[in-house]
Amino acid sequence: MDQETGNRPLAGLRVLDLTRVVSGPYCTRMLADCGAEVIKVEPPGGEHMRRKQPVRDGLSSYFGHLNVGKRSVEVDLYAPAGQRALRRLAATCDVVVENFRPGVTAALGLDYPTLAAIRPDLVYCSISGFGQDGPRARQPAYAPVIHATCGHDLAVMQYQRGQDRPPATGVYYADMLAGIYAFGAIQTALLARGRSGQGEYIDVSLLDAMVNLMVPEVQEAQFAMPYPRWMFRPVRAADGFVVATPVSARNFEQLTEVVDRPDWRQDPRFATPTGRERHWDALMAELEAWTSQRPAAECERLLATAGVPCARYRTVAEAMRDPHLVERGLFRRVDDDAGGFEVPALPFRFATVDVGVQGRVAELGADNGLLGSERAAAGE
């Protein structure tokens, strides 16, 4: 363990990572960033995400983004020798994280009851699409399926003008949310273990995570709104779009000063918070008459300087070069055998220790020595 890792808040914690794709690997990378020793288990030939584009010299930066800082063991989960090797390894671990479909780990002899019998203080976290019980528990699910099931996509479609079908899915909210909830639940269980000495089993559902995301939608599904909820929408600039959110009375007053429209303060549509909510589209149309005559960067500068929350729309590549993010050091360079690439560090900071990205992306099976003497029989 290097000195940097040894100073991190989860240093000394060992995690057996039985996850793949996005939700589980994101959770365990957060654990690794915080100093835990994370041992990623991969099937013979490696997890299929190792071949996910973008690929450079045969190595996926997508895979590296989610798995940097972890160890790698290559083992056949379906071979009895491999299962025995993993049970021995689990006995040395504080945490196990898996995101198989419910029932799979029991068939493999790697479920919580089996491993807790070996390690009673084990914290074991299962991440799945629909949770470990209920009528849909064993149905297959990826993030787009969950987005459709929970009502998110139809809500987003309703919020768009002229859209006649649910949106395409490109950002995997369900996976990332479930990974974050799993990370937090594991910390909570470890805190409880420190007090009681007892282990814990955690059931994290992508569907449950997404439903928790939709606060106003859940309430509006139960209670009728007196008028349609206002939407934050883009307004056109001379060379792109900006979004402005003058929600508070002070923000609205600042807006009227910047655009030189003091008459809005007496306009019955805009003079009160309720009036602005009910006539938000009209207010944005008035604002667009001003923004459309100016470049987006100028609109952002003038409004933000005056105290009005505002941003121009940018690409991810532009956002990665934002001087603010550069100064905060959000993006860190990591390496694999194909070279270097950038990934974002954790979205929280500690005052006394760095919890940024650490280490390299391990070669497949680089740490097979952790499996012990049966590793050859386990498929390596």
175 is catalytic: yes
3-state secondary structure the chain: CCHHHHCCCCCCCEEEEECCCCHHHHHHHHHHHCCCEEEEEECCCCCHHHHCCCEECCEEHHHHHHHCCCEEEECCCCCHHHHHHHHHHHCCCCEEEECCCCCHHHHHCCCHHHHHHHCCCCEEEEEECCCCCCCCCCCCCCHHHHHHHCCHHHHHHHHCCCCCCCCCCCCCHHHHHHHHHHHHHHHHHHHHHHHHCCCEEEEEEHHHHHHHHCHHHHHHCCCCCCCCCCCCCCEEECCEEEEECCCCHHHHHHHHHHCCCHHHHCCCCCCCHHHHHHCHHHHHHHHHHHHCCCCHHHHHHHHHHHCCCEEECCCHHHHHCCHHHHHHCCEEEEEECCEEEEEECCCCCCCCCCCCCCCCCCCCCCCHHHHCCCCCCCCC
Q: How confident is the model at residue 373 (pLDDT cuts 50, 70, 90)?
A: low
The confidence score (pLDDT) of residue 4 equals 56
Q: How confident is the model at residue 3 (pLDDT cuts 50, 70, 90)?
A: very low
Structural domains for the chain: 3-214+327-371 (3.40.50.10540), 235-312 (3.30.1540.10)
pLDDT digits (tens, 9 = 90+) for 346-360: 999 999 999 999 889
pLDDT digits (tens, 9 = 90+) for 215-227: 999 999 999 998 8
The confidence score (pLDDT) of residue 241 equals 98
pLDDT tops 70 at residue 298:
yes
pLDDT digits (tens, 9 = 90+) for 68-93: 999 999 999 999 999 999 999 999 99
pLDDT tops 90 at residue 161:
no
Q: Percent of the chain scored above 90 by pLDDT?
A: 93
Active-site choice (17, 94, 153, 175) = 175
pLDDT tops 80 at residue 287:
yes
